Amino acid sequence: MPMMRAVQISNPGGELELVQREIPEPKENEVLIKIEACGVCHGDAIVKEGSFPVLRNLNRKKSAY
């Protein structure tokens, strides 16, 4: 399966990590887009600092054309 890059935080207060993930197959009524850029917002910075203990991929802000 093709791979993509993603940034994640494994632990609250941890470092940003660049990882490889499988590109998901779109389901019915979904499309697959190629992401050209992705940003990190203030909420992501709070998670990184450990102030809000939520572990997640930082993949919500996307820009494609």
Model pLDDT, residue 29: 94
Residue 58's pLDDT is what?
A: 52
* pLDDT at residue 38 in the model: 78
Which two structure tokens, joined as six digits, stand for 55? 């572990």
pLDDT of residue 30: 92
Q: What is d(CA 43, CA 53) in angstroms, rounded to the nearest whole number?
A: 11
**Quick one: pLDDT at residue 59?**
54
Contacts of 39 (CB under 8 A, 6+ apart): 61, 63
- What pLDDT, in 10s, does the model give residues 2-57? 899 888 878 777 788 889 999 989 999 999 988 888 777 777 777 777 776 655 55
Instruction: Indicate the domain borders of the chain.
Output: 3-63
Q: What is the pTM of this model?
A: 0.58
Collapsing DSSP states into helix, strand and coil, what is residue 56?
coil
Give the count of alpha carbons within 13 A of 39, CB side only. 7
